Amino acid sequence: MGNLLLRGVDQALKMRLEETARRNGRSVSEEAIDQLQRALPTPDDTGTSAGGRLRAILGEERFDDADIEAISAFRHQPDREPPRFDG
């Protein structure tokens, strides 16, 4: 594993990281690694189209004609009126 040295970290950010690490029962280094892993996309996630993500979720399941008709009807419904706050 490699090492990473961060210079010029804002004191408030460092304190937040230390507090989060304490709450999670981790060292500051472990917490920073966890935060970075959750914040950065994995190589598999980059550049995936919406259709590709949907296919990954649905697997082999396909929409039937009734599903397509319901989606089409929903898409063509008029938008609701925006809320009014003037009384």
From 64, 82, 66, select the one nearest 74 (Cα to Cα).
66
pLDDT for the residue 81? 82
CA distance 82 to 77: 15
Query: DSSP letter string over 1-62?
Result: -------S--HHHHHHHHHHHHHHT--HHHHHHHHHHHHSPPTTTTT--HHHHHHHHHTT--
Percent of residues, the chain, with pLDDT higher than 90? 38
Reduced to 3 states, what is the DSSP secondary structure of residue 64? coil
pLDDT band at 7 (very low <50, low <70, confident <90, very high): very high
Q: What is the pLDDT of residues 10-51, one digit of tens each?
A: 999 999 999 999 999 999 999 999 999 888 877 766 677 877
Say if CB 35 and CB 16 are below 8 A apart. Answer: no
Mean pLDDT, the chain, whole residue set: 87
